[in-house]
Amino acid sequence: MQLKSNELAGNLRQQMLRLNLGTRVILVRHGESTFNAQGRHQGSSDESVLTEIGRSAARRTGSFLRGINFDAVYTSSLKRTQETAREMLGVMEPAIELNKIHSTYALREIDLPAWQGLLHREVQEKFAQDYRCWRQRPHEFRMVTFDSDQEDGSRLTENFPASPRPHLPASFFPVLDLYSRAQKFWQEILPHHRNQTLLIVSHSGTIRALIATALGLMPERYHALQQSNCGISILNFPDGYQAPAQLEALNLTTHLGEILPPTKADPKGLRLLLVPSGNKAQMRRVAQLVKTESIDFSISGTDDEAEAIANTILQYHPTTVQLQVLRDDFPQVWQQAITTRSSLTTNSSQLITGLVLGSNYIIQRLIRQVLGMNCDEIGNLQLRQGSVSVIHYPLAGRSPMLQAMNISG
């Protein structure tokens, strides 16, 4: 859905500018690349470069981040990310001094040497068994390299010198390797940036691993987070160090003219729009936020207040089927229903969208189940009232994914 004004972006920017104690990290994925456009696996290959769409999105992202005083910038040394950083930094104010910009191969994309450059459908056909393991058990996925002495394809560019490319063994676990690399990155940089604001420009897999290791998520949930091209995610480290971070926002794309990020996997299945209950003004803003989205059904509580809030949000959706639930264990029941792959998700040839309205606790539990978080880790999700979070349950064979968190108007 295209934004018709800058109001949403302006409100979000003000939230990002607020005073924050501890270390704040804003993570941005690179813009659309040639391999993205062609539907190819990229991995740590350095053959892919930005498209014009990618360059434009990078500039829009830089403009959106104007006014934030970044104490340091860390970027992957691969070309598509360096190009994104250059486009962003070229329009950002205040200007960032060159000595605050650090490029490192530690932030490169996940290493997939046997797949990189191949079309997604080619990998699914030629490496069918490995691909199933990659999707369903990423922590067990092992890759055998064709050549353990890969040539370094990175390019040295002014102000962004590439770090030496590490040697890959003949056989390794790409996801476990990536998580280990992300953990080491946090351990190395966070002690130097207490109470500062950092910008990280990197890749989808790497950003997901950075968020996961900061929150303590297991590698089994590698595919449980979405990161769109130039999508913005925000982590807060309250004490300035690793233990543990708080997720303030995930995969925000309003600055690109999109309210809800497009589904990355199969554009079918079930999509839930999660809305924490709030006051009337907040709910009216949510109503405007999802005004042009197709909403097939809604789920809310049985009390009069819940019904009134649901009616406020759905005022532009007269055909939406409104359901009410009484049970407090709704999140568990819902997850069980999804796990059994009911006809609601398996027999649909299109995307079905439902609105879930509930307390912060209920919304957090639904997200926690997707991410595999423990009950005592719910506080690591900084849900905002008047915001929308999105979970996508693809068709059978794929795990549920948190597409975005805290989309706000």
Beta strands in 219-277 (DSSP E): 232-237, 246-252, 269-276
Q: Which of 87, 73, 71, 64 is nearest to 16 (CA)?
A: 64
- What is the Cα 325 distance to its own chain's centre? 30
Strand partners, 235: 25, 247
Among 83, 109, 255, 317, which one carries the catalytic annotation?
A: 109
Active site (annotated) includes residue 30:
yes
306, 359, 297: which is closest to 328 by C-alpha?
359
Cα(278)–Cα(264) distance, integer angstroms: 29
Backbone angles phi, psi at 164, to 5 degrees: -60, 140
Q: What do you get for the CA distance between the two ends of the chain, in Å? A: 14
Helix axes 304-313, 280-289, angle to 10 degrees: 40
DSSP alpha helices (H): ranges in 111-270? 120-126, 128-136, 174-189, 204-215
Query: Which residues does the annotation mark as catalytic?
Result: 30, 109
